Amino acid sequence: MRKIFVLITLAIFFSALIFPQQSSNKAQNTTIQIPQCMKDIAKLMKSKNLNRIVIQSSKEKDVFIGFQYLGKMAMVVYAKVPKENKDPILKNIRAKNYQKAYQLLNVMVGNKVTTISDSEFDTLRISEDSTDFVKTDNKIVFFNPASEKLFKNKVEFENFRKKYNDLYLNCIKEILKKLK
C-alpha cells in the first residue's frame, strides 16, 4: 500500500514539474509573500548541493522530518517513528544517505506519515489550479475548491490548510537550524 502511495505521490510531484500550471494567484497579478525561511532553505540546499535531507526533530525524538527540494517544488515528510524503526533511519542520516532515509520514512511499517507537497514552493494555497496537497491517514486532500466538499464548510477547509501550512513551515524552520 505504501509503495503504491509513494509511486502516486511521485507521479503527481513530477507531473507538476513536467506540466507546470500557472497559479490563479499569478494570473490575478497578486504578489505572494514568500516566508524568509523558505528563501533561506532554498539557498542552503543549493549551496550544499542537496535536493533531499532528513533530520530527527529536536522537539520530539520520535519524529523525523524529510525535506525534498527540486527548484520550484518542495515536499515535506513528517513521520512519527516507532522505536524499532529509528536505528536504520538514524544510520542513514549519520552516513548522509538522505535518499535512503527519506525512503525509509515513507515505507517502513509502523511509521505514521504526513506528506505535504508544495508544487510552486510558495506555501500551501487554495486555488483553482492548485496541485498542493497533504496526505495523512491514507487520505489525500488537494488545496483546490473541489476538495472543499470533503469538509463541513469553507472555514473548516481553511483551518485544515492553515494547520498543515503551519506544520510545513515549522518543519522547514527546524531543518534550517540543522543545516546552518
Q: Buried b vs exposed e over 126-165: b needs ≥16 C-beta within 10 Å?
A: bbeebbbbbbeeeeebbbbeebbeeeeeeeebeebbeebb
Are 120 and 23 spatial neighbours (Cβ–Cβ below 8 Å)? Answer: yes
pLDDT level of residue 25 (50, 70, 90 thresholds): very low
Residue where the block lists cell 511499517 = 109
pLDDT one-digit tens code per residue, 58-104: 999 999 999 999 888 999 999 999 999 999 999 999 999 999 999 99
Predicted confidence (pLDDT) at residue 1 exceeds the cutoff of 70: no
Residue with cell 522505536: 83
pLDDT band at 31 (very low <50, low <70, confident <90, very high): low
pLDDT score for 71: 83
pLDDT at 21: 40
- Find the mean pLDDT for residues 133-158: 93
pLDDT for 14 beyond 60: no
Phi first, then psi: give them for residue 110, nearest 5 degrees: 105, -20
Q: What is the pLDDT of residue 118?
A: 95
Higher-confidence position of 22 and 122: 122
pLDDT band at 138 (very low <50, low <70, confident <90, very high): confident
Percent of the residues in the chain that have a pLDDT greater than 90, as a whole number:
68
Q: Give CA–CA dist 49/13, Å, rounded.
A: 20
pLDDT attached to residue 22 = 39
> Of residues 149 and 9, which shows the higher confidence score?
149
Q: Kindly tell me if the per-residue pLDDT of 171 is higher than 60.
A: yes
Mean pLDDT of the chain, nearest integer:
85
Residue 32's pLDDT band (cuts 50, 70, 90): low
CA distance 39 to 46: 11
pTM score: 0.81
- Give dist(CA 97, CA 107) in Å, integer: 16
Residues 6+ apart with CB under 8 A from 177: 58
Q: Which residues of 86-125 are buried (b: 16+ CB within 10 A; e: fewer)?
A: eeebeebbeeeebebbbbbbbebeebebbbbbbbbbbbbb
Residue 11 has what pLDDT?
47
